[in-house]
Amino acid sequence: MTDDERRAAELLAAARNVVVFTGAGVSAESGVPTFRGAGGLWKQFRPEDLATPHAFARDPRLVWEWYDWRRGLVAKCKPNAAHHAIAAAQRASGQTDKRTVTLVTQNVDDLHERAGSQDIVKLHGSLFLDQCAQCAQGAQSAQVAHRCGNCGGWLRPGVVWFGEALPEGQIEAAVEAARECQVCFVIGTSGAVYSAAGIVHEAQAAGAKVIVVDPGDTAYDSIADIRLRGSAVTIVPGILRDG
């Protein structure tokens, strides 16, 4: 363990409330592609063709083809040691009741759930939920035909698209946890997409230390109290172990 990793582990262990804030990078070593950077989805595909309400209205079949492909890809992936370490830290905090570990994720791959995390603040929805694009019917589990059981209209993927509001209550829950934490532990996110990205600034403004794990450059590099350059799987389990 490096000195910085040891310092990070100590800060995490001493904090009464921790927010773990994750992005696509936490799932990279599970085989899920990230969005930006080498091999990122937005290098291969144009978000305006696939991830906006307008794109869906224009060509729902094309949009579904892409989301079905992503569902298939993610379904074959397994949670990795970083997902498991976060879930274990949440379980441990629940048992001692001395602290809280709130997981806030931008990911739609459900790998945190599959690792056993509970009470996840999910800012961008889930690949594995559908919503009716026509009627008020709420979330439905993924349907093959993509048609609403209530009105027969098109279902849409239950993810947040560009230009859309975040799911009700989720950003509020994230901001509240951010304002109450002593450590904001940021893993595998470029910090490029607001409002989600803003929760790290909320935490820091309220006095929290910011720890960032990421092998590449992020928007938080100049504000991080501890910046750990490396992959989630190599760093996260080690520094959460003593939490």
Residue number with CB closer to ligand OAD (23 or 158): 23
> Which DSSP category does 161 fall into?
P
Least distance CB 192 / ligand OAD (angstroms): 5
Residue number with CB closer to ligand OAD (99 or 220): 220
By annotation, the residues acting in catalysis are 124
Q: How far from 118 is each of 46, 87, 88, 183, CA to CA, in Å?
A: 33, 8, 11, 19
Tell me which residue has its CB nearest to ligand OAD: 25
Q: How many CB atoms are located within 10 Å of the residue 167 CB?
A: 18
Place of tokens 């990793």: 5
Least distance CB 236 / ligand OAD (angstroms): 8
Least distance CB 105 / ligand OAD (angstroms): 8
Torsion 61-62-63-69 (CA) sign: positive
Question: Longest C-alpha distance within the chain, in Å?
Answer: 59
Residue number with CB closer to ligand OAD (99 or 155): 155
Cα 211 from Cα 153, distance rounded (Å): 45
Least distance CB 59 / ligand OAD (angstroms): 18
Q: What does the binding site for ligand OAD look like in residue numbers (CB under 6 A)?
A: 23-25, 28-29, 34-37, 40, 106, 108, 124, 159-160, 188-190, 192-193, 214-216, 218, 231-232
Least distance CB 82 / ligand OAD (angstroms): 7
Q: Do the strands 17-22 and 100-105 form a parallel or antiparallel pair, or are they unpaired?
A: parallel
**Among candidate residues 172, 216, 218, the one with its CA nearest the CA of residue 196:** 172
Cα 217 from Cα 162, distance rounded (Å): 23
Q: How many CB atoms are located within 10 Å of the residue 69 CB?
A: 10
Residue number with CB closer to ligand OAD (16 or 78): 78
Identify the helix (H) or strand (E) that includes residue 57: helix 53-58
Structure tokens at 60: 């729902």
